[in-house]
């Protein structure tokens, strides 16, 4: 992985020296351009992950430079932080309209600079992950033979919303804090930060799940990349730990029904990590699509060298048509007030099970019950 590159655009070399000194322990590669035209001509050379741009410059001011950089498709995703002595809302509004992503006031404070640079670079890295995910999806889509048109349409319609919802939560909180943080007490600031943190966690989880699905798609389609592993930890410990953790998160411990015969000597052809992922995804789905005070049942059985796992809930259920469309990432009967999702959980389970030579299936009675069953070879 190449080092993170930062381009500083400022007509005063002394200002670059200050920034260089403040960031010298952060292991960034800093580049300098004395004016906007020079900076634009060197973008392909420096390949910046972040741009620190002075507003007040001769020839071409920072706002115009920002507009021109953001008009180049290749560099639209690179965050631009304006370094400015301007502080009126009109001035800041002009910067935002030009495409700026953040501000740092002069004189530059070392803690503020490091924090904002770190935050913007993290956002850029997350964007790059999403872009990589998109490219991976394009490379794996040739392996999907059924419902290919539905898959593309549903991803195109749901992915932007799923990404924008947590992003909007983060941006909204940041805007509110910037506009009114001086009038907020500590409790208000803390609550706003919690909202931003929750949105960031949600976005991070979504990104990781898409990356996980894409990697599983490649692995299941290319046998040469597979590395079959087995469990090292007790199956019973893994199951109980995973389901209790998920149940506690939604306050539904009393809804769990466990039928786990003696699993002490059972060892399956699956890594601990992948097995726990299956349990967590299926239990999370069961809780998500059933009401509190209704049972969620987990059953296991070892028969003829095959480990059988089933997780059932008494929730909304699915029609045969809906079950058939699970692989196309279709959302079913979502209300505006319900938790959103893109239906990746069951697909991740399916791909993991396939990877280890197992089987998965769904049976359901509409508006009554859903049972997801998994079969995994034992050692």
First vs last Cα of the chain: how many Å apart? 38
Distance between CA atoms of residues 231 and 272, nearest Å: 5
User: What pLDDT sits at residue 325?
Assistant: 66
Distance between CA atoms of residues 63 and 55, nearest Å: 6
Question: Model confidence over 280-338: pLDDT tens digits?
Answer: 989 988 898 889 999 999 999 888 889 999 999 998 888 887 777 665 444 444 443 33
Which architecture characterizes domain 5-113 according to CATH? Answer: 3-Layer(aba) Sandwich (3.40)
Distance between CA atoms of residues 245 and 177, nearest Å: 34
| 106, 183 Cβ separation under 8 angstroms | no
| Phi, psi of 227, deg, nearest 5 | -135, 100
Domain with CATH 1.10.287.130 in the chain: 144-225
Q: Does the domain spanning 144-225 belong to CATH 1.10.287.130? A: yes
Whether omega before 107 lies within 30 degrees of 0, making that bond cis, reads yes
User: What pLDDT sits at residue 228?
Assistant: 63
Distance between CA atoms of residues 268 and 306, nearest Å: 8
Question: Percent helix, strand, coil in the chain (nearest 5)?
Answer: 55, 15, 30
Exposed/middle/buried for residue 116 (C-beta within 10 Å: 0-12, 13-18, 19+): buried
Question: Model confidence over 357-378: pLDDT tens digits?
Answer: 888 888 888 888 999 999 988 8
DSSP 256-293: EEEE----TT--BSS-HHHHHHHHHHHHHHHHHTS-TT
Whether residue 259 is predicted with pLDDT greater than 60 in this model: the reply is yes
Domain with CATH 3.30.565.10 in the chain: 235-377
Q: Which of 8, 200, 45, 23 is nearest to 118 (CA)?
A: 23
Cα 11 to Cα 45, 55, 59, 101, 115: the distances in Å are: 19, 10, 10, 21, 24
Three-class SS of residue 34?
coil
Distance between CA atoms of residues 343 and 261, nearest Å: 31
Give the global pTM.
0.48
Question: Model confidence over 94-123: pLDDT tens digits?
Answer: 888 888 888 888 888 888 888 888 888 888
Q: Which of 345, 344, 374 is nearest to 362 (CA)?
A: 374
The domain 235-377 is classified under which CATH number: 3.40.50.300, 3.30.720.210, 3.30.70.20, 3.30.565.10? 3.30.565.10
Question: Model confidence over 185-231: pLDDT tens digits?
Answer: 878 788 878 877 877 777 777 777 777 676 776 666 665 555 666 77
Tokens of 104: 């740092």
Angle, helix 89-98 to helix 62-70, in steps of 10 degrees? 30
Q: Which of 129, 115, 126, 46 is nearest to 81 (CA)?
A: 115
Helix (H) or strand (E) holding 343: none
Domain with CATH 3.40.50.2300 in the chain: 5-113
User: What pLDDT sits at residue 293?
Assistant: 93
| 181, 189 Cβ separation under 8 angstroms | yes
| 289, 315 Cβ separation under 8 angstroms | yes
Tokens of 295: 């049972």
Exposed/middle/buried for residue 33 (C-beta within 10 Å: 0-12, 13-18, 19+): buried
């Amino acid at each position: 992985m190449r080092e993170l590159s930062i381009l500083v655009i400022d007509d005063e070399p002394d200002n670059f020296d200050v920034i260089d000194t403040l960031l010298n322990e952060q292991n960034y590669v800093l580049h300098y351009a004395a004016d906007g035209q020079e900076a634009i001509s060197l973008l392909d050379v420096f390949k910046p992950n972040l741009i620190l741009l002075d507003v007040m410059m001769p020839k071409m001011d920072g706002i115009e430079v920002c507009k021109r950089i953001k008009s180049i498709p290749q560099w639209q995703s690179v965050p631009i932080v304006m370094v400015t002595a301007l502080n009126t809302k009109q001035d800041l509004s002009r910067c935002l309209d030009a495409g700026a992503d953040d501000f740092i006031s002069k004189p530059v404070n070392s803690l503020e600079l490091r924090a904002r640079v770190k935050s913007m670079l993290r956002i850029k890295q997350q964007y790059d992950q999403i872009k990589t995910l998109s490219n991976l999806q394009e490379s794996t889509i040739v392996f999907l033979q059924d419902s290919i048109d539905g898959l593309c349409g549903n991803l195109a319609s749901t992915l932007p919303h799923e990404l924008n919802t947590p992003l909007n939560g983060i941006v909204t909180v940041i805007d509110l804090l910037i506009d009114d943080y001086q009038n907020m007490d500590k409790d208000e600031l803390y609550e706003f930060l919690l909202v931003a943190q929750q949105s960031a966690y949600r976005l991070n989880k979504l990104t990781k799940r898409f990356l996980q699905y894409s990697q599983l798609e490649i692995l299941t389609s290319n046998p040469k990349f597979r590395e079959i592993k087995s469990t090292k930890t007790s199956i019973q410990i893994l199951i109980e730990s995973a389901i209790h953790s998920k149940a506690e998160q939604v306050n539904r411990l009393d809804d769990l029904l466990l039928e786990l015969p003696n699993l002490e000597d059972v060892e399956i052809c699956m890594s601990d990590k992948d097995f726990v992922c299956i349990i967590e995804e299926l239990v999370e789905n069961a809780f998500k699509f059933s009401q509190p005070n209704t049972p969620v049942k987990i059953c296991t059985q070892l028969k003829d060298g095959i480990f059988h796992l089933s997780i059932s809930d008494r929730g909304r259920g699915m029609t045969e048509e809906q079950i058939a469309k699970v692989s196309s990432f279709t959302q079913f009967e979502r209300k505006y007030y319900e938790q959103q999702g893109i239906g990746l959980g069951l697909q991740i389970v399916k791909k993991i099970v396939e990877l280890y030579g197992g089987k998965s299936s769904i049976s359901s009675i509409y508006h009554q019950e859903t049972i997801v069953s998994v079969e995994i070879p034992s050692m």
